[in-house]
Amino acid sequence: MPMTDAHELAGKSAVVTGSSSGIGRAIALELAAAGANVFVHAGRNREGVENVAQKVHDLGVDCCLTVADLADVSSYDSLISEAWNWHQNINIWMNIAGADVLTGVASKLTFAEKMERLWAVDVRATIELSRRAGQRMKQQNGPPGGCVIVNMGWDRAATGMEGDSGEMFSATKGAVMAFTRSLAKSLAPEVRVNCLAPGWIKTAWGQQASEAWQQRAVQESGLGRWGTPEDVAHTARFLASSASAFITGQVIAVNGGTSDDV
């Protein structure tokens, strides 16, 4: 949903974890296009995050980058410190980083190993970074709802999906969605906390998915197509802006209107 004000985030500073590719990359660029300064992060993909940082700079805003493995608990304090040393007031924090267990060598891991990775990055890091960033934001003494945290859920976590992937992602993303609702109460009124719940979004896995999955994604979308990272990024931009000033503690489905909406 493009905003009427092309620069509604001018003067704001945002952190986007997991922004070297996919949805995180699209969100970082969308926030920069809206005028926000953006701190970008990658778990390992330095080349990817450097490319995103250059594109953010090209949009005329400030940018900083870091590479840190969020499966390592020792990375949390350093990431928070780096962000606040970059800009003394962080207004937007987006936890988009997630462990990829569907492509590459990780796809060959056991169910238990995949769960361990998902829990470390998608759940534990989201919880810890949100709590630490949220407390810093409260101490900035800004206006009610002036700071924003956005987490990453999954539209099927509330309704379920068959198979190993359905079980893994419903458990981990469901935890993030539940946590978001509670954190919103803890951080009010200074900080608004919401969660994106994407459906079938064509990221790396979607691009190589089998024909059966391609058909399923299209058939289960009320709009008859895959979603794109940009579709999610537009909603993230809305949640970061004053246009959503009275929205907190919500899980927002971005899924083309499937029959199992959150």
**Predicted local confidence at residue 259, as pLDDT:** 55
Q: What is the mean pLDDT of the chain?
A: 92
DSSP annotation of 3: -
In a domain, 6, yes or no: no
Distance CA 234, CA 106 (A): 30
In a domain, 65, yes or no: yes
**pLDDT greater than 90 at residue 38:** yes
In a domain, 4, yes or no: no
- Prediction pTM value: 0.92
214 compared with 48, residue with greater pLDDT: 48
pLDDT band at 5 (very low <50, low <70, confident <90, very high): low
What residues make up the domain containing 78?
13-254
Q: Could you give the number of structural domains in the chain?
A: 1
Report pLDDT digits (tens) over 180-231.
999 999 999 999 999 999 988 877 677 777 888 788 878 788 888 888 999 9
Report pLDDT digits (tens) over 93-127.
999 999 998 888 999 999 999 999 999 999 999 99
Residue 187: φ, ψ to 5°: -95, -5
**Predicted local confidence at residue 2, as pLDDT:** 43
**CB of 35 closer than 8 Å to CB of 59:** no
**Predicted local confidence at residue 10, as pLDDT:** 96
**Predicted local confidence at residue 190, as pLDDT:** 97
Distance CA 36, CA 237 (A): 10
Region for 174 from its dihedrals, namely left if φ exceeds 0, alpha if ψ lies in -120 to 50, beta otherwise: alpha
β-bridge pairing 147-152 and 191-198: parallel
**pLDDT greater than 60 at residue 3:** no
In a domain, 91, yes or no: yes
In a domain, 261, yes or no: no
pLDDT band at 1 (very low <50, low <70, confident <90, very high): very low
In a domain, 1, yes or no: no
**Predicted local confidence at residue 247, as pLDDT:** 98
**Predicted local confidence at residue 201, as pLDDT:** 83
Distance CA 230, CA 60 (A): 20
In a domain, 7, yes or no: no
pLDDT mean over 162-172: 92
**pLDDT greater than 50 at residue 150:** yes
CATH of the domain at 37: 3.40.50.720
pLDDT mean over 65-92: 97
**pLDDT greater than 90 at residue 142:** no
In a domain, 215, yes or no: yes
**pLDDT greater than 80 at residue 240:** yes
Residue 230: φ, ψ to 5°: -65, -35
